[in-house]
Structure 1
């Protein structure tokens, strides 16, 4: 899988999210910013989580007691991105005008890719271990968190992976398994410690959890409410998030 540069894709193709950042900067409130940007509160936080995960450093930081509830503020990185976007708007207008004149605009649109994977983690390749027809790719995420992905040798070559390559790790929410902090982890599985930030109960199925990593990146996972109740887990609790290396899909800038 070959992806456009992740954060720049969201900046150029999804200006509503930049508008959300602008409103957060102006109002210091997720609730008000979401309304001003024409988004639901949940959609706004999902957008912020995704942008924070794709950026080298979080763009938005929570702040207690914000105006209007859901307090948050832009980080220095977030403000830098806003300034960058203003310059990109001028360049984008020029490029789109040229592409439209040449008939290449439709082709560019087909080359852009969006994914259904809820979890997108930004990192760098730090090691490649050949294993027969497959390679185990070691990735370092912000905060020095480490995970592994197992892909075919052909995929390694097609993506032109090498030490230092920037990648996006895609993991579907249903592929993540949760365990208590003291539980034994299956050998060979990735394991990250995370804090439960939000629990959305579903009377017809598993609850949806928003988890935060020590790096500031976030994950979406599912857990049965009975399991959470049995282990007295809720908002503020810490859990282990495990997933197999074969469940990690990798993308690189096109």
Structure 2
């Protein structure tokens, strides 16, 4: 049976330029780094600030970054990736609040966010006729996009902790397992008859537990199977690499086309 292309031939309302970056190896690299930074930054803030204050501050910064992204007329690397980082931090906190604050098991929160993500995909496709990120040229499509991104981060946080903690696989084993899952859509797209859109979102969802598991492994104590570097230093190291790569993307975007 052929996998549906997840796209109809619907006209795209005019807007200047697409609001999301091209999907390249650098895109995936920065995306995975942001997931790790979001995980360790959330852990660091949770242990340094009152949880209510931490969530509140992260929520305000997320709102500001998304408002800036929505107001931009085109894809601007530093604006876009700032929004992704804040989605990562806040999405991690949202999943952790359900488990730590409300006592919801990781299995339940993983199922909840999986259902929420599926519902978003169905609604997005029903309204817009496509799930392709290359068509994100209107405010409505961008709102669908960021709602989906936020949900993938929350789902990935819960799934990563479910795998590493509840199933007792540990962060390193979980990271390796999710790395394999991340590679499947790219390597098996043709054998599995995945459309480009389906392969993209399958890989995108897995980037969250992939990056976060390795970041946790680097940060947590030896007793928990980690390298004991601490969430603060890991966050700073990831932040430095992200800033460097986004700086490169910004400079590349300003170069005149030949």
TM-score (norm 1): 0.25
Of Structure 1 and Structure 2, the greater strand share is in 1
Of Structure 1 and Structure 2, the greater helix share is in 2
TM-score (norm 2): 0.25
Kindly indicate whether structure 1 or structure 2 has the higher relative contact order, using CA contacts under 8 Å at least 6 residues apart: 2
